[in-house]
Structure 1
Amino acid sequence: MEQSPLTTSQLDESVGFLMGVTYRKLTNFLLQRLKNYDITPEQWAVLVRVREQEGLIQKELAARSGKDKPTTTRILDTLESKQYITKKPDKSDRRSFLIYMTEKGNTLIEQTLPIERQTLVDVTAGFSKSEYDMLIQLLLRIGENLNQLTKED
Structure 2
Amino acid sequence: MDYSLEQSVGFMLGFTYRKAAALLATRFKPYDITTEQFSVLFNIDKGEGVNQKEVASRVLKDQPTTARIIDLLEKKGWVERRTSEQDRRAYLLYLTAEGKALIDILVPIEREMNKELAEGIPEDQMEAFKHTLSLINRNL
Hey, what does 1:137 align to over in structure 2?
A: 131
Give the share of equivalent positions with the same residue, in percent. 41
8 Å Cα contact 1:58/1:99 also seen in 2: yes
Amino acid in structure 2 at the alignment position of 1:103: A
- Supply the distance in 2 between the matched residues of 1:63 and 1:89 (Cα, whole angstroms): 20
Task: Quote the residue 1:151 is aligned against.
Answer: none
1:73 partner amino acid:
A
Which letter maps to 1:119? M
2:118 corresponds to: 124
CA distance in 2 between counterparts of 1:60 and 1:123 reads 29
Structure 2: stretches of 5+ with no match in the other structure: none
Contact 1:88/1:97, CA 8 A, preserved across alignment: yes
Q: Distance in 1 between matches of 2:88 and 2:4?
A: 51
Query: Which residue pairs with 1:25 in the alignment?
Result: 19
CA contact (8 A) 1:58 1:73 kept: yes
What is the aligned residue count? 140
TM-score computed with the length of structure 2 as normaliser? 0.91
State whether residues 85 and 99 of structure 1, in contact with CA within 8 Å, keep that contact through their aligned partners in structure 2.
yes
RMSD: 1.6
Code of the aligned partner of 2:105 = Q
